[in-house]
Amino acid sequence: MTYIRDEDTRLETTRARLSNVLKRHEDLKERLSRDSDKLIFERLQREFEAARTAQTEEIPIDDEQWNDGLLATIREKVHMEADRKAMANQANVPADPQFQSRTTYRIKNKVIYCLDGVRIGIQYETYFAGEPCEIYHCVLESKSFLEKMTVIEHTLPFFLPIREVESEFLSSNAIKFIDHLEEILQSYVDRREQVRLIKELYGNQIGELFHSLSYNLIEFVMEDFECKVTVSIRYSDLLFTLPSQARVLAWPLRSSRGISVTERRASRSASAQLVPFRLPYAEDALKTLSLPEAFAEIVLSLPRALKRILSSQESD
């Protein structure tokens, strides 16, 4: 009995520490979402909305057309527009309607804008289950054709590696940079929305739930079963929407109400040792199905899996 009380005390201490860590995590996230970032977001949102309102034509672009040649054309347009405005201001020349046309380019879920001041704006539209989610913006500056473009402003979440992606791709392959950011953003939204959905659908069966800011690490406890099930999943790449690693452990409970005498005897034996056992079927489900689908599959098959494992323990 002393051993059990000590174990309970340690579990409560661990739970309290975890709750404290989660609270500090939320506080840190709020502090890192600085007021200056919110101002940038609001200003860019207004600028992109104004550019969309002023557009005279939106050209749909397919995969074959989305290439370095098109991007060079867009860069040329922003430079010509900047030069024309500079000359018009110096000579007080009326605006030429031909140059006032505003063309945007839509490539799947991103729209390319020619912004004032030799800047190119990319608007990323994200979706989940066919429904629109957030819109993000990234602004590239193109000082000259002899210099590489640089990211000067963006509204992407601060914890996504935009600077690393910029260093790796932008100077050598701007198309790859723009597309890679789209994939990272969409994958992040997909992982986040999967977590939101399981909380919405199965919140009464989930105990503690932890996730990293980018949702590439997710851990939660499934409760209201004949054992406590801990789930830990990791995504080794930010482009993944299915976990690359999954570990699911079932922890026997000391109380065994609702199961047979034979299963109760096996459960008491397992509880005395407090040794968890893995659930391979659950790990496979998590790595092949979306998180809500995997959760439903785990819950559906859990009683049968527990009965099989407990019976195996009894025979041993």
Tens digits of per-residue pLDDT, 170-200? 999 999 999 999 999 999 999 999 999 999 9
Tens digits of per-residue pLDDT, 125-138? 999 999 999 999 99
The residues with which 236 forms a beta bridge, in sequence order, are none
* CB-side neighbour CA atoms (13 Å) of 258: 9
Statement: residue 272 has pLDDT above 60: no
Mean pLDDT of the region 252-279: 57
pLDDT for position 300: 94
For residue 24, what pLDDT band results from cuts at 50, 70 and 90? low
Statement: residue 281 has pLDDT above 80: yes
Tens digits of per-residue pLDDT, 288-306? 999 999 999 999 999 898 8
- Between CA 309 and CA 240 the distance in angstroms is 32
Which H or E run contains 8? helix 2-32
Place of tokens 């979706």: 127
Statement: residue 113 has pLDDT above 80: yes
pLDDT for position 223: 83
Which 3 state secondary structure label does DSSP give 177?
helix
Mean pLDDT of the region 58-65: 96
pLDDT for position 10: 59
% pLDDT > 70, the chain: 77
Statement: residue 34 has pLDDT above 70: no
Q: Which long-range contacts does 16-24 make (Cβ < 8 Å, 24+ apart)? A: 18/208, 18/210, 19/208, 22/208, 22/210
- Between CA 280 and CA 277 the distance in angstroms is 9
For residue 106, what pLDDT band results from cuts at 50, 70 and 90? very high
Mean pLDDT of the region 242-260: 76
Of the candidates 135, 162, 136, the one whose C-alpha atom is nearest the C-alpha of residue 150 is: 162
Statement: residue 229 has pLDDT above 70: yes
State the pairing for strand pair 277-278/57-60. Answer: unpaired
Which 3 state secondary structure label does DSSP give 237?
coil
pLDDT for position 257: 44
Per the model's pLDDT, the better-predicted residue between 52 and 241 turns out to be 241
Per the model's pLDDT, the better-predicted residue between 270 and 137 turns out to be 137
